[in-house]
Amino acid sequence: MKKWNRTGKIKAVILGLLFLPNIIIPKQTIYDEVVIYIVLGPLVFGLLAIPLITKVNSLIFGQVISRPNWNESPLTVKKPLTFFHFGAFFMLITGFSTILGTLIKYHELNFMGFLAISFGAGILGGIFLTLKLNKID
C-alpha cells in the first residue's frame, strides 16, 4: 500500500464500500442444487473472452496490451487490461462479500456469490493468459 498513488487508494476505497452492502444486507437465494458447469461457465468465458477482446481491440483500435497496474485509472481507453483488472477485483470482492454476508445472516451459501467469484477468477486468468500469449513480462 505504500506504493499506491491517489488512483490506487480511490480504487481500494470503492472496493471497500462495495463490500459493505453485501455483508450488512445480503440477498438470500434459494437453489436446490448448484450445478458445477453453471458455476464454471463464467470462469471459462473470462479465460477465453479477455484474450480475444484484447487482441481484437489492439488490432482494430490500436489499444496497448500491457501489464495492468493498480495505480492506473481503470477508465483509460488506451489500456483495456486495467479496466478488466479492476473489474475482476470488483467481481471477487462482490462474490466474497455476498457469500460471507449470506453465511452470517442465513447460515447458507449463496449461488450468486460463487458465480461472481468464478467470473472474477476467469477475468484474472484471462489477463494472465493474454500477457503470456503476447509475451509481456
Domain range list for the chain: 6-133
Do 114 and 120 meet the contact criterion of CB atoms below 8 Å apart? Answer: no
Nearest to 50, CA basis, from 78, 85, 75: 85
Q: Kindly report the pTM of this predicted structure.
A: 0.88
**How confident is the model at residue 23, as a pLDDT?**
80
- pLDDT grade, residue 86 (50/70/90)? very high
How close are the terminal C-alpha atoms of the chain, in Å?
Answer: 22
**How confident is the model at residue 22, as a pLDDT?**
78
Tell me the average pLDDT across 15-33: 77
Which helix (H) or strand (E) element contains residue 79?
none
Do 64 and 78 meet the contact criterion of CB atoms below 8 Å apart? Answer: yes
Cell matching residue 120: 472474477
Percent of the chain with pLDDT over 70: 94
Cell matching residue 28: 438470500
Higher pLDDT, 11 or 24: 11
- pLDDT grade, residue 44 (50/70/90)? very high
Do 54 and 136 meet the contact criterion of CB atoms below 8 Å apart? Answer: no
